[in-house]
Amino acid sequence: MKLKVTICFFLLLLLFAVIIVLMISSISQYVEMKEGMVEYEAVVTEVQVDHGGKYSSNRNIFISYTVGGKEYERELVSDTAVSVSGGFMRHYRKGDVVKICYNPQDPSEILEGRAPVAQICILVFACVVFLFFLGLLVLLWLPPPKRKRVHMHRKRK
């Protein structure tokens, strides 16, 4: 029984370790990509909501910005392997101003200017759960504490 529980905890630890590594990779790639880019503001021109299922919806946010006299219109999606939709977990409306970063060599290449909040939240949650299961695993394998015998003497009258 103890071995089966240990294997389950180990698999959970492994799963959360993979999630942690992926989130750290995603965040570090975002930081690396943001270097060399120019921060700028864009205006939301359109928000399309696609209700894919009963409990889910996908937001496609379109923006407009001008660099060097040329106007760019495109979807707010970061052009990185991080590939998180720019509007993920955010509720933009038409006319809202959003922060972006653009590549000075190719202003059509953008990155959302705000930090990848979803990845950071997932990373923190995964770390907490990882430490919790690690603690349970350690407690499972620690020997039980030795109990001291306490002798109570009755006083005789």
* CA atoms of 8 and 147, how far apart (whole Å): 30
Backbone angles phi, psi at 31, to 5 degrees: -65, -45
What is the extent of the structural domain holding 132? 2-139
* CA atoms of 100 and 37, how far apart (whole Å): 9
pLDDT digits (tens, 9 = 90+) for 1-17: 777 778 887 888 888 88
| Residue 146, domain member (yes or no) | no
Tokens at 76, concatenated: 């707010």
Q: Which residues pair with 41 in a beta bridge?
A: 99
| Residue 148, domain member (yes or no) | no
Q: Write down the pTM of the prediction.
A: 0.58
Q: b or e along 36-68 (b: 16 or more beta carbons within 10 Å of the residue's beta carbon)?
A: ebeebebebbebeeeeeeeeeeebebbbebeee
DSSP state of 154: P
* CA atoms of 47 and 60, how far apart (whole Å): 6
| Residue 145, domain member (yes or no) | no
Q: Which residues pair with 38 in a beta bridge?
A: 102
* CA atoms of 84 and 112, how far apart (whole Å): 9
Domains identified in the chain, total number: 1
- The pLDDT of 16-45, averaged and rounded, is 84
* CA atoms of 133 and 127, how far apart (whole Å): 10
Residue 138 binned pLDDT confidence (cut-offs 50, 70, 90): confident
| Residue 152, domain member (yes or no) | no
| Residue 144, domain member (yes or no) | no
- The pLDDT of 123-136, averaged and rounded, is 85
Q: pLDDT value at position 90?
A: 60
| Residue 88, domain member (yes or no) | yes
| Residue 155, domain member (yes or no) | no
Q: pLDDT value at position 42?
A: 92
Q: Is the per-residue pLDDT at 151 higher than 70?
A: no
pLDDT digits (tens, 9 = 90+) for 87-113: 444 677 889 898 888 989 999 888 877
